[in-house]
Amino acid sequence: MVEVHGLTKSFGALHVLQGIDLGVGRGSVTVLLGPSGSGKTTFLRCLNSLEVPEVGTVRIDDVAVDFARRPSRAELRRLRAMSGMVFQSHELFPHRTALQNVTEGPLYAQRRPAAQVTAEATALLAKVGLADKADAYPHELSGGQQQRVGIARALALRPRLLLFDEPTSALDPETVGEVLTVMRDLAAEGWTMVVVTHEIRFARQVADHVVFMDGGVVVEEGRPDDVLVEPRQERTRRFLQRILDPL
């Protein structure tokens, strides 16, 4: 479903992505692991065309973009429309209710009928366990609740692909579980997901494919048990040791 070839991205003299190749199967969950600065988030944002690479191709279903040709805004919009992004820091509109945050994209970006959008948004809030919070503003919600609104907002766009950028890293430990539960349910429903996270247990339980990145390259990838339990690369082993035994 997702094919990436030769993706390269720099910020000035800093080479953040150095020719990334990756395939993501339909209905699968791919987890991206790696230290800060390894290029995980930049790669995710390139999939959504929030960042524009210098070189490389990205295909999501039947939409393909060759960034070496300097794609048009229309091409970038088509690629962006294929995925829904869940951000690390929620990124909700503070002056909009939970329901309004979920309906914003379908109403104004996709120009879909208001009655249909509202009905779907209401159902999505119920799906993430927030049926009683439709009229609440972000400041009235916990971090975990805000993130679940963010998930509902991404789903409301009817994407083919869900992208999660460290969705639990800004949450209190008590609220991490409620977000991961929603993500597990989405995986069980067959959503195609690419997730940047340090939640190793989630990766082992839910992921179909784990990718370890460092220095803008893919160091190691494979099945969760292979990468997380018996990694082949020393760099992967050292990273996992720091995550699992930080003392």
- For the stretch 74-133, pLDDT in tens is 999 999 999 999 999 888 999 999 999 999 999 999 999 999 999 999 999 999 999 999
Is 139 part of any domain? yes
Domain annotation covers residue 109: yes
The phi, psi pair for 176, rounded to 5°, reads -60, -45
Contact between 180 and 147 (Cβ < 8 Å) = no
CA distance 201 to 13: 36
Give residue 174's pLDDT. 83
What's the rounded Cα separation, in Å, for the pair 80 and 57?
Answer: 14
Helical (H) or strand (E) element with 15: strand 14-24
Q: Is residue 116 part of a domain?
A: yes
51: pLDDT strictly greater than 80:
yes
129 falls within a domain: yes
Q: What is the pLDDT of residue 227?
A: 96
In a domain, 78, yes or no: no
Q: Assess if residue 80 is contained within a domain.
A: no
Looking at the structure of the chain, the number of domains it has is 1
Domain presence at residue 136 = yes
The residues that bridge with 30 in the sheet, in sequence order, are 194, 209
CA 130 centroid distance within chain: 21
At residue 138, what is the residue type? P
Would the pLDDT of 246 be above 70?
Answer: no
Query: Which residue range is the domain that position 154 belongs to?
Result: 94-158
